[in-house]
Structure 1
Amino acid sequence: MKTVLSTLNAKYIHTSLSIRYLKAYAQPEYEVELAEYTIKDPAMNIVTDLHAKKPEIIGFSCYIWNIEETIKVIKMLKKINPSLIIVLGGPEVTYDTKEWMDKIPEVDFIIIGEGEQSFKQLLDELNGEQNFDNVSGIAYREENKVQIKPQRNKVDLKVLPSPFRFEEDLQHLSKRVTYIETSRGCPFSCQFCLSSIEVGVRYFDREKVKEDIRFLMENGAKTIKFVDRTFNISRSYAMEMFQFLIDEHKPGTVFQFEITADIMRPEVIQFLNDHAPKGLFRFEIGVQSTNDATNELVMRKQNFNKLTRTVTMVKEGGKIDQHLDLIAGLPEENYDSFKKTFNDVFELRPEELQLGFLKMLRGTGLRLRAEHHGYVYMDHSPYEILKNNVLSFDDITKIKHLEDVLEKYWNDHRMDETIEYLVTHLFQTPFDFFQDFGTYWDEKGWTRIGHQLEDLYKHLYDFLGSNKRNELTIASGFMKYDYLRNQNYKPRKPWWSETLSKQERSKIYHSVLENPLLLGEEFAKKQFSEKDLFKHTVLETLPFNLDHYLKTGKIINENSFVLVHYDAIHSNTTVYTVLSSELDTKVS
């Protein structure tokens, strides 16, 4: 029977590892076609494409981010072809399976849990005697009653065939994220996470994993993300893999890992700081909360002091970007407690701070005990909470406002020096800045419209003018500096009105050219003419000594000039600074 495996990814650059494992395991007895889409694709377009493949069996991999759109597709397909056999699998339908069978009568089978063996057994029966009682780990209908057959045994991961050797995938490897797993399961029992349900950790064959990674790199894979829930649970295993990746990586490849930071030993971090090429690794670290009582309620063991040590050592090493996660809405974490959690983690200055909101996932202990903490949450995916006994809906809304500007102004790194100055000097805490700005942003209605880069600077300037007008001069100086240094090409029209006339710029350029060493030896070597400076640089005055601030973090109220050179040929931007007082005699 013609079989197609499909899923709706969150983004085009994502790929589904699950359907590739199913396809690999089904071969050579069954030839399965893969068809991936995104949740942004119109349902009619997906249905049209799938129908054109003339399948007799279609399987969908289901998650909280795609289940609603997947249901639309399923219902349309079944109306077009009532004889089509529809199979669902994935974490979203593994739990409350009977409810899903009742809710979606168009579905014929659901694979429960790990799917490789169950799906192949199902294909055996669909293409044979159709005695589904022989298949473990499925739900199906028999005489209008839902039958559920639990899984018998876990698959031996060491014998699973590679999901990466399909010819049709090779041309896309350089453009998409490739997901890989070296283990399944998690040693921890966090009650908000599905991984806590599977007891123990099982490993794939190490040498086969290495061969897969070599193959992916040789065929152009650029971003390889390990989906292991805790990559570093075994120190010896993690060290072996880190060494392998350092030794055999291809230039331009990035590897991402989910790391449990408080169990990472300092000697491991030191090894990475000493030997890993810059940019090769990226760590994702789930902090979630720094409230010990909250962590205890969700059975999450975490030593924040050791986590801080790890994050700090990695950051000081300068080799690895870190993405830290927080969850708003965990048990007994009220607004003030979450504020402390946010400030605790922002103090570490991670390259990215992801703020999420608790989702009551099917099958998790927290969902089963939702009433105990007064949780009210969405009936449909992603089951995000609306409130609980200590956090009101208004509190959650405020935190969402904060999350919006955090993403735009910190995680995108458009104005790092500006934000650092604001959260250190002008606002009581980082949380206060992001919260106040987020609330202002929402009141202005900016959430509902798109924004150019210049708009983001103008909006921040407006906010500071309404909130911190007396300190606006210094803040706007930092904003100008960040704006100019983060451009790849000379900006045609900066977001502010020019403060220097053409004549004033000409005087300063003359002064600089007469004594180029004022801007350093590198500047002097370039031997610019005045024409070069007018054509390829921007000159702006700042109300403080920028060079002193960058070296010490302290503000001295003496004017300085920033001269930014844009080398269009090499796409290179260079910033030079000089004190106004050093140029006074020359300018006069």
Structure 2
Amino acid sequence: MKTVLASLNAKYIHTNLAIRYLKAYAAPEFDVELAEYTIKDPEMNIVTDLFNRKPDIIGFSCYIWNIEETIRVVKMLKKINPNLFIVFGGPEVTYDVPEWLERLPEIDVIALGEGEETFKQLLASLNDGRSLDSVGGIAYINDDGMLKVNPQPNKLDLRGLPSPFRFKEDIPHLSKRVTYIETSRGCPFSCQFCLSSIEVGVRYFDRKKIKDDIRYLLENGAKTIKFVDRTFNISRSYAMEMFQFLIDEHRPGTVFQFEITGDIMRPEVIDFLNKEAPPGLFRFEIGVQSTNDQTNELVKRRQNFEKLTRTVTMVKQGGKIDQHLDLIAGLPEENYDSFRNTFNDVFALRPEELQLGFLKLLRGTGLRIDAKKYGYVYMDHAPYEMLCNNVLSFDEIIKIKQVEDVLEKYWNAHRMDYTIEFLVQYVFETPFDFFKAFGSFWEKQGWSRIGHQLDDLFKRLNEFLIHENIEQLAIVQAFMKWDYLINQRYKPRHSWWIDGICKEEKQKVLHYISVNPHVVSGEFTELNLTDKDLFKHAAVEQFPFSMEKYLTNGEILAEPEYGLIIYYGDTMEKRTFFFSKSQLEAVLTARK
């Protein structure tokens, strides 16, 4: 019987690790095809492709981000071919099985939990025409119309699992997509909002096999490898061994991502990484979720924020590893003011990325079971996001979502770091208050419903600041201009502002410094640039304070200054130089 394992991924760059484990485990007895799509693909296209493969059995990997799209695909497939045998598996359908089978008669079998052994047994039974009674870890409606749930088999010895990475058809895509890898399953913690808390204990894969797989992936062009272990650093010795291995084996351009528990990270591990890891090789994802002690206690989350802060700070000081910190709005007893404090606590650490998510009441989690206790109202369908609870209204959820919108565009995208840093330090009371005010203004202007280019982001922030009538507007606009210029790969043809120095003045400045480069610096003189070079590759702008002094020591010194940026495209780095307005004006006046 021809078998296809399918998945609708959230994005094209993602890959599904689960279906690859199932395929590898089913071999050599069963030759299984893989079929991956995205949730953005037209459903008719997915149905057509699957139909043309002429399968007898299709297994779908189901998660909160793809379940609704997967259901629509399956309903169409079953209408076309009622004899098609449909298997659902994955975390989204492992729980509330009676509800799924009642809601979706199109499903023939649901595979529960860890699926490698279950799926292989299922294929053997279907191919031999045997009863499903002997297949462990499945649920289905039997011939009598009764729900049948077979007990799950014992947990697998992960050390014996075959590699999910040795498929030739994957090789052409390795450099373009994220490769997911796991070195362990399970989680030592019991956070009641997370499915990982349900599985007791942590099991490890064979280290030698994992290393061999990583070498194979790197040799075949993999660029981004993400470890999906729930707590990669639960074992210090294991983490150190893997970090050293990855440092030794890495190729230029490779990035390894990990989910790290920040408060258990030992300082000596961070010292090692700060000294030995090449810049950009590692990326850490750290779930903070909340800094409210009562909230953490209610969800059985053990967290020492002081130690977490130490970890994040040490890593940031090392300057080699980007950090992605997560927050969850809507956890028990965390009201609007408490979440504001949580946000400010975590933003103070200045992570390279701060992800603001909203609580999802996942099937099977303790928090979903206790939803009434905290007054949760949440979506009936995936992703089951909370709408309100006993301490957080829907109106307050909307306000936090507005924060999320501009946070993503203006902090996580790093388009204007100097500007945002000044705003949150000196203009608004707290970072949350800035993002909240700007997010509310953004929504009122209707900008959330239209697209935007880079220039639009600067114009919209400028419009907001003018509306707020802030005293330091000229300083903030100067930082905005600086951010705009230094984040360009090439000299911009146009600028979003209209009150800079005029074209004639720019031409005079550029001509003069091409003839008198010593006015800028000795380093600039050594570049030996002509008029033509400067007009083509250089941008010059005037600032109301010394940008050079600020970049050096954070001091705002009221000395008007010119900033010169020379762009070399892909061949050389951008170069920046500064010279005082008074110095240049004096020379230009003397020339006249």
TM exceeds 0.5?
yes
In the alignment, is residue 553 of structure 1 matched against residue 554 of structure 2?
Answer: yes
CA distance in 1, matches of 2:238, 2:151: 32
Letter in 1 for 2:95: Y
CA distance in 2, matches of 1:334, 1:569: 49
Corresponding position of 2:152: 151
2:427, 2:470 within 8 Å by CA — same for their partners in 1? no
CA distance in 2, matches of 1:116, 1:520: 66
1:561, 1:577 within 8 Å by CA — same for their partners in 2? yes
Letter in 1 for 2:188: P
Q: Within 5 Å, give how 1:466-505 maps onto structure 2.
A: 466-497=467-498, 499-505=500-506
Q: Within 5 Å, give how 1:127-526 maps onto structure 2.
A: 127-142=127-142, 143-497=144-498, 499-526=500-527
Letter in 1 for 2:380: D
Letter in 2 for 1:449: I
3-state SS of paired residue (1:508) = helix
Q: CA deviation at 1:24?
A: 0.2
Cα deviation per residue 1:510-548 (whole Å; 9 max; x = unaligned)? 443454234333321111122321221111111111011
Does 541-550 or 276-285 show the bigger shift?
541-550
Does 568-577 or 258-267 show the bigger shift?
568-577
3-state SS of paired residue (1:94) = coil
Corresponding position of 2:571: 570
Q: CA deviation at 1:215?
A: 0.2
CA distance in 2, matches of 1:472, 1:168: 56
3-state SS of paired residue (1:127) = helix
1:489, 1:571 within 8 Å by CA — same for their partners in 2? no
User: Identity across aligned pairs (percent)?
Assistant: 68
Instruction: Report the RMSD for the aligned CA atoms in angstroms.
Output: 1.0
Q: CA deviation at 1:556?
A: 1.4
Cα deviation per residue 1:154-178 (whole Å; 9 max; x = unaligned)? 0110000000000100010000000
Corresponding position of 1:54: 54
3-state SS of paired residue (2:334) = coil
CA distance in 2, matches of 1:363, 1:236: 32
CA distance in 1, matches of 2:47, 2:201: 39
Corresponding position of 2:30: 30
1:112, 1:150 within 8 Å by CA — same for their partners in 2? no
2:259, 2:285 within 8 Å by CA — same for their partners in 1? yes
Q: CA deviation at 1:563?
A: 0.9
2:91, 2:113 within 8 Å by CA — same for their partners in 1? yes
In the alignment, is residue 77 of structure 1 matched against residue 72 of structure 2?
Answer: no
CA distance in 1, matches of 2:243, 2:478: 43
CA distance in 1, matches of 2:34, 2:500: 59
CA distance in 2, matches of 1:358, 1:334: 13
Cα deviation per residue 1:265-315 (whole Å; 9 max; x = unaligned)? 000000000000000000000000000110000000000010000000000
CA distance in 2, matches of 1:587, 1:67: 69
CA distance in 2, matches of 1:109, 1:174: 35
3-state SS of paired residue (2:324) = strand
CA distance in 2, matches of 1:582, 1:154: 76
Q: CA deviation at 1:458?
A: 0.2
Corresponding position of 1:64: 64
Letter in 2 for 1:137: G
Aligned length: 588
1:499, 1:541 within 8 Å by CA — same for their partners in 2? yes
CA distance in 2, matches of 1:193, 1:77: 32
CA distance in 1, matches of 2:57, 2:36: 16
3-state SS of paired residue (2:93) = helix
Corresponding position of 1:581: 582
Letter in 2 for 1:342: F
Letter in 2 for 1:333: E
Q: CA deviation at 1:130?
A: 2.2
CA distance in 2, matches of 1:519, 1:272: 39
The gaps in structure 1 that reach 5 residues or longer are none
3-state SS of paired residue (1:5) = strand
CA distance in 2, matches of 1:127, 1:94: 24
Cα deviation per residue 1:66-100 (whole Å; 9 max; x = unaligned)? 00000000100000000000000000000101111
Q: CA deviation at 1:498?
A: 5.2
Does 48-57 or 512-521 show the bigger shift?
512-521
CA distance in 2, matches of 1:67, 1:454: 37
3-state SS of paired residue (2:451) = coil
Cα deviation per residue 1:29-83 (whole Å; 9 max; x = unaligned)? 0000000000001111100000000000000000000000000001000000000
3-state SS of paired residue (1:93) = coil
Q: CA deviation at 1:507?
A: 3.0
1:87, 1:107 within 8 Å by CA — same for their partners in 2? yes
Does 324-333 or 529-538 show the bigger shift?
529-538
Cα deviation per residue 1:394-441 (whole Å; 9 max; x = unaligned)? 000000001000000000000000000111111110001000000000
Does 512-521 or 199-208 show the bigger shift?
512-521
2:78, 2:84 within 8 Å by CA — same for their partners in 1? yes
Q: If the length of structure 1 is used for normalisation, what is the TM-score?
A: 0.99
CA distance in 2, matches of 1:513, 1:127: 80
2:514, 2:534 within 8 Å by CA — same for their partners in 1? no
Letter in 2 for 1:397: I
Q: 1:502 to 1:263 in 2, by over 3 A?
A: same
CA distance in 1, matches of 2:51, 2:196: 35
CA distance in 2, matches of 1:498, 1:535: 22
CA distance in 2, matches of 1:302, 1:518: 55
Letter in 2 for 1:563: L
CA distance in 1, matches of 2:483, 2:500: 17
1:488, 1:571 within 8 Å by CA — same for their partners in 2? no
Corresponding position of 1:531: 532
Does 504-513 or 573-582 show the bigger shift?
504-513
Letter in 2 for 1:108: D
Q: CA deviation at 1:509?
A: 2.6
Q: CA deviation at 1:148?
A: 0.5
CA distance in 1, matches of 2:269, 2:518: 44
Letter in 2 for 1:516: P
CA distance in 1, matches of 2:356, 2:97: 30
CA distance in 2, matches of 1:490, 1:508: 16
In the alignment, is residue 42 of structure 1 matched against residue 58 of structure 2?
Answer: no
Q: CA deviation at 1:131?
A: 1.4
In the alignment, is residue 4 of structure 1 matched against residue 4 of structure 2?
Answer: yes
CA distance in 1, matches of 2:54, 2:129: 23
